[in-house]
Structure 1
Amino acid sequence: MGAYGFQLSGGVYPDSHQRSPGPHARRLIRNHRQWGGRVPAVCRIPGRAHPQYPPLAMEQVRKEIVRMMSVTAFMYADMHEVLSDFDARRADTIRQHEQVLDSLNHEITTFLAALARIADSPEISYDIPGLFQTVSDLEHVGDRCENILKGIVGKKEAGVVFSEDAMDDLKRLAQVVAGAIGDTEQMIRHGFIRDGFDLAAAKGAARVAFDTARQNHFERMSNGTCPPRAAKLFNEMTSDFEGIARLCWNIIACQERRR
């Protein structure tokens, strides 16, 4: 128990009923340390909390959200690599990332709910819903990444081959979304993205890329170069890429409203 009444456990998975991180998750944690991070601590508020505790609690929550963003960025980067060059070990790492995100989502939201019950500051009460939304959106980014991985694995197992043009479209979309992930990480870590950044312009440029990919896909289906199974997988994967971009924009907009 710390001086301010917060009990911080030593790791992501303190309870026996929760999943333990496998070797790839442990490697991820080592990477976090190289980034200057650490294993996200689990925050617990004691039943009898003093009104002075919430400010410290908010600081701790924001640190945990930064770490959750790091996990999300690692997960997307691995998925981006698997799209071009499938590797079973990297695919397993992606699944481990998702387990970590699930645990962080549960633990941070549980902590925020407890904090909401004792917070007596209007500023903290105003910030808590946005933090809930950010944590939820990051967890959903992980879900979308896992969906794309399932599409990649399903494509491989079914022997489905995308045309070179279709793969080029997917790679372009993956790169567009990588930019959105990077912008989101900048916002969460530093409170700003870069001088001259315009969210509306970023959305517009990304939507052009998605619209172009959809039009190209329609043309491939129309001329018979894209069979039904491949068409379904391509649609699902592009939908998940677009979903990740939208979640990133939501997070950026939410963070901007707090400032």
Structure 2
Amino acid sequence: MSALLSQDLLFGLLGGLGLFLFGMKIMSEGLQKVAGNRMRKILAALTNNRYVAAFVGLAVTAIIQSSSATTVMVVGFVNAGLMSLVQAIGVVLGANVGTTVTAQLIAFKITKFALPAIGVGVGLKLFSKRKSWVYMGEIILGFGILFYGLSVMKHAFDPVKTSEEFRHIFTLVGDNHLLAVAVGAVLTVIVQSSSATIGITLALATSGLLTFEGSMALILGENIGTTITANLAAIGTNVAARRTAMSHFLFNVIGVAYMLLLFPYFTAFIEWLTPGDADFVITTQQQAHDLMMAVGDKPYIARHIANTHSLFNVLNVLIFLPLVGLLAKLATRLVPGEDVEVEFHLKYIDNRVLNTPPLAISQARSETNRMAELCLECLDDTLRFMRTRDSRMLEGLRKKEDLIDLLQKEIIDFLVAVSQRPISQELSKEISSLMHMVNDLEKVGDYCENLWELGLRKMEERVNFSQMAMGEFDDLAGHTREFLAFVKAAMERKDVTIGEKAQFMENRIDDLEERLRLNHIARLNTGECSVTPGLIFIDMLHNFEKIGDHTHSVSRALIGKK
């Protein structure tokens, strides 16, 4: 085979595969923007019912067109404690069926519409004023680029049809099912996309270089290779997440194993189910014209391959769905260990879902709500410390404040990363609001730290407040704590109607702080209170007032005014 032929093949394959993957990415991102909120609601509907979980996995994967993305998300959810192992296995089973939609789409003979789709998609994306039309343009553009990439790959294989070396290689793969499974698995691991492997298989098969049986075995191997992505994502996660990834691997490996044993029967069933002879080759120009393909191509094999992919996964789900419990037990045996909950760590946000902005923002919101809860706990513990003077509480308070600081940094970094993805205007506003909330909550933690340090100074200097001062302290502390608890609860239920009440509570704290400060200054002037206790008391009042200010800022961000 000449060097020029090798170069044309390599360039055509790399370029076509690049276009295919890029088109898939643009189409997937467009679909996510259109269906982002719906997808969030679908995930929120998860229950412990394995059949519902499987349907959710199918729906989400069909929406975002990537089983790898779904399984990686599921691993992240399990790692965050948001999903049980049995739940997760159900979602993964459904995801395997959902991903077959891609193969069914690209099996249609619509390559000739690729360039018009690119033109229409670019027109909508660049010139539409309505966001919904821009997102639709992205979907159509991605669709067009995907099919154009498929066409480029197919044409790259045309010159090698006459090469004996290539025919020998593909005959070897077609005749040896185990080798074809291994090649399919390795190829999927290399390109990190089962859809791309299916695209290459379809290009080879329709060009007449692969037999139907060889294509089937490659598709089975792709189902094993796609599980590697989830297992790579599970590295460094907790035991439950690693078990989820292992379950995905076991499910597909066992499925491929029994399918290889039943290979002749499965092949016969697909051929009976799908019209046309899979290995029929176009031999005349008239046939080529009628079927809109080239001489030497196989016009019916694409639909046979797509049906193989779909039916394998549907059968696998039907067999394994009732056995989810057994699959979970097997994964538990293969991935031993106790899953210990670490108290001070990120619980919800997970960089694995950055390519799915609606889910990423949902995770950031959960982490922000957790941060608000920690701030309330920090304030409660601070008040308890100041009443009990128990210095053993200081270590826990410092850990909580350190965690609040950590959460601020990690959530902001995460939100910045999400903002750099293609996102809608609504999501951009939500990111801005969350950033404001996170920064204000971190300030609440700082003022709690100031309060307990003032309490520590009060202990070390043996300062005592008068009964009246303690009553005033408790009054302002109570109102501040009530305000923070009110806003935290509103964040959890996403209540945007709290503006008026939040303003009232903020004004009440400001007025009370000013009145108590003036009262205390008057006591200092009359000699009822000495200077050191007076200064500590006024500093404490100021810190409560600042907590109120930042809590009010959080409420403004929640209702969309920041």
Shared fold (TM-score greater than 0.5)?
yes
**Cα separation, partners in 2 of 1:28 and 1:251, compared to 1, 3 Å:** farther
Cα distance in structure 2, aligned partners of 1:157 and 1:217: 22
CA distance in 2, matches of 1:135, 1:145: 15
- Within a 5 Å distance, the mapping from 1:1-259 to structure 2 comes to 3=70, 8=76, 29=343, 40-44=347-351, 50=355, 53-192=356-495, 198-257=501-560
User: In structure 1, what residue type is equivalent to 2:436?
Assistant: Q
1:10-63 residue CA offsets vs partner (Å, 9 max, x unmatched) = 57xx8xxxxxxxxxxx99949xxxxxxx962342258xx64xx11111111111
The whole-number CA distance in structure 2 between the counterparts of 1:215 and 1:202 is 20
Compute the TM-score of the two structures, normalised by the length of structure 2. 0.39
* Structure-1 separation of matches of 2:360 and 2:480: 32
Q: Displacement, 1:169?
A: 1.2
Structure 1 SS opposite 2:413: helix
User: What is the percentage of aligned positions where both structures have the same residue?
Assistant: 24
TM-aligned CA deviation for residue 119 of structure 1: 3.5
1:225-250, Cα deviation, whole Å (9 max, x unpaired): 22222122112111111000111111
Cα distance in 1 between the residues matched to 2:514 and 2:387: 22
Cα distance between partner residues in 2 of 1:197 and 1:232: 34
One-letter amino acid of the structure 2 residue matched with residue 123 of structure 1: E
Change (3 A) 1:195 1:181: closer
State the superposition RMSD in angstroms. 3.0
Deviation, 1:2, is 5.3
Deviation of 1:100 (Å): 1.0
The answer on whether the counterparts of 1:220 and 1:226 sit within 8 Å (CA) in structure 2 is: yes
The one-letter amino acid paired with 1:234 is F
Unaligned runs of 5+ in 1: 15-25, 31-37
Tell me which amino acid in the other structure corresponds to 1:257.
G
Distance of aligned partners of 1:253 and 1:160 in 2 relative to their CA distance in 1, 3 Å threshold: same
146-155 or 114-123: which moved more?
A: 114-123
1:258–1:243 distance in 2 versus 1, CA, 3 Å = closer
Which structure features the higher share of helix residues? Answer: 2
**Aligned residue in 1 for 2:283:** none
State the Cα distance separating 1:159 from its structure 2 match.
1.3
Q: What amino acid is the match of 1:44? A: N
1:156 deviates by 0.5
Question: C-alpha offsets along residues 43-86 of structure 1, whole Å, 9 cap, x if unaligned?
Answer: 2258xx64xx1111111111111111111111111112122222
Distance in 2, matches of 1:68 and 1:201, equals 24
Other-structure match for 1:17: none
Query: Which amino acid in the other structure matches residue 448 of structure 2?
Result: C
Q: Which has the higher contact order (CA 8 A, sep 6+)?
A: 1
Structure 1 residues 106-155: Cα deviation after superposition (integer angstroms, max 9, x where no partner): 11111011011113211111111111110111111001001000000001
State the alpha-carbon separation in 2 of the partners of residues 165 and 28 from structure 1: 43
Partner Cα distance (1:27, 1:181) in 2: 27
Per-residue deviation at 1:192?
A: 2.4
- The question of whether the paired residues in 2 share the 8 Å contact of 1:119 and 1:125 is answered with no
- What letter is aligned with 1:109? I
Partner of 1:191, secondary structure, is: coil
Measure, in 2, the Cα distance between the counterparts of 1:188 and 1:62: 9
How far residue 92 of structure 1 moved from its aligned partner, in angstroms, is 2.2
SS at match of 1:120: coil
Contact 1:29 1:39 in 2 (8 A): no
Is the alpha carbon distance of 1:164 and 1:119 closer, same or farther for their aligned partners in structure 2, counting shifts above 3 Å? farther
TM, length-normalised to structure 1 = 0.81
In 2, Cα distance between equivalents of 1:67 and 1:124? 20
